Amino acid sequence: MNVLVIGSGGREHCLVWKLRQSPHVARIFCAPGNGGTAKDAENTEIAATDGEALLRFAEERDIGLTVVGPEVPLVDGIVDRFESRGLRIFGPRRACARLEGSKIYAKEVMDRFDIPTASWRAFDNPGDARNYIRGRSGPLVVKADGLAAGKGVVVCKTREEALTAADRMLVHKEFGAAGEKILVEDFLAGEEASILLVTDGETVIPLISSQDHKRIGEGDRGPNTGGMGAYAPAPLVSGPLMENIHGTICEPLIKGLGKQGMKYRGVLYIGLMISGGNPYVLEFNVRFGDPETQVVVPKLQSDLYELMDRTVQGQLAGTVLSWDPRFCVGVVLASGGYPGPYQKGKKIEGLDCLPSDVTVFHAGTRAEPARSGEGYEYFTQGGRVLTVTGLDPLFPQAQRKVYEAAEKIRFEGRSYRKDIGNKALKFLSEGVK
């Protein structure tokens, strides 16, 4: 079977890496891919947003399954387009993809199905937003309604910060069309966790929990990014808490959508805040998370292609997944200046001197044939450049081996957080199971 993976990030490289391990997969193509997928798959220079070109490519190359990585193609309806031509594709249709395409719509769905989330109001008028914010007490979160590459969320400790954030979106149009409407919600104090689930619209299979680190700076300081690292499983998410999440969020959402004629098929990312021991939904993403994928998928011992195939065919019932019991830690190496302006084209050194039990997933890289004539040389091409991952039965050991490997990788301006996983150490030391 030929497989096409759409996207160019660390998530897509990880999916390619795992799909290569399936005996059902013959060739893997990645569009447009990155330096890492150039080695592990066959890159094709088609943008992830060029639905028509991707459709033609899938037909011409006899693609048996297409896997969509990023959110924009899903929100634009690529699944509907492929299915209308009889092509198999892993991901939700446009109607279900609105869960990520519009934060306001997602909140409406949560209220409709009694899914726990923070109190909220939506606005498209700056004056109305200002009046609402002035009438609230305590911290607030201001969110652009549409897609903003993970950067349209501002946590505001004061009213003044919230007023400024609302004006940045509604008045100054900082996020363009994505910020024409905004969401203002109460801030929830607690610890964040991420849950990925796979569903065919009937059967819901939660994957291993994880915890992302969104802020650029250590101690969760500075602006939000696409994610600076993650680990799995998250000790915070105990067995009883996972049952609570499944019963109050996962099942009600998928069953509720189904009753309204929207069968959700694919993977769903649920961003959670655990507050007072209870889960509250912060956001839905209609695709694999990044960098969560890079720490969850390496723990999956089952065949990823088979899991996706059963999902697309609506045959998930009875599926039992097998997991590596070890902890997995992933640290993102970023270009200097990220998430602001950064330079490209910096040569990456040290990738060939890493231990065998460390895996590096490429994101913002490009590959060029090595001058020696063997292999590739790699150069920076994006803000988040690499995710360095490692597994170990002991969490401190997994964390240590990843940071030792990260230190061996060099490129001009390289930066990374040095506290990825410290929260897990805290929970483990407190005896959280």
Q: In this structure, what CATH number is given to the domain that contains residue 281?
A: 3.30.470.20
Residue 407 lies in a domain: yes
Q: In this structure, what CATH number is given to the domain that contains residue 89?
A: 3.40.50.20
**Predicted confidence (pLDDT) per residue in 160-219, tens digit:** 999 999 999 999 999 999 999 999 999 999 999 999 999 999 999 999 999 999 999 999
DSSP category for residue 415: B
CA separation (Å) from 376 to 12, 18, 143, 336, 409?
Answer: 19, 21, 41, 23, 15
Which class for 80: exposed (0-12), middle (13-18), buried (19 or more C-beta within 10 A)?
middle
Do 305 and 336 have their domain in common? Answer: no
Instruction: Give the domain-ending residue among 313, 337, 368.
Output: 313
Residue 385 lies in a domain: yes
**Predicted confidence (pLDDT) per residue in 71-127, tens digit:** 999 999 999 999 999 999 999 999 999 999 999 999 999 999 999 999 999 999 999
Residue 103 lies in a domain: no
Do 197 and 283 have their domain in common? Answer: yes
Residue 278 lies in a domain: yes
Q: Residue 431's pLDDT is what?
A: 59
The domain in which residue 225 lies consists of 191-313
Mean pLDDT value of segment 242-271: 96
Do 208 and 254 have their domain in common? Answer: yes
- Number of independent structural domains in the chain: 4
Residue 345 lies in a domain: yes
Instruction: Give the domain-ending residue among 186, 221, 241.
Output: 186
- Tell me the pTM: 0.95
Q: What six digits make up the tokens of 135?
A: 């009438």
Do 212 and 175 have their domain in common? Answer: no
Instruction: Give the domain-ending residue among 313, 348, 368.
Output: 313
Backbone conformation region of residue 339, classed left if phi is above 0, alpha if psi is from -120 to 50, else beta: alpha
Tell me which amino acid residue 415 is: S
Q: In this structure, what CATH number is given to the domain that contains residue 359?
A: 3.90.600.10
Q: Residue 85's pLDDT is what?
A: 97
Residue 318 lies in a domain: no
Q: In this structure, what CATH number is given to the domain that contains residue 125?
A: 3.30.1490.20
CA separation (Å) from 52 to 47, 55, 82, 205?
Answer: 10, 5, 9, 32
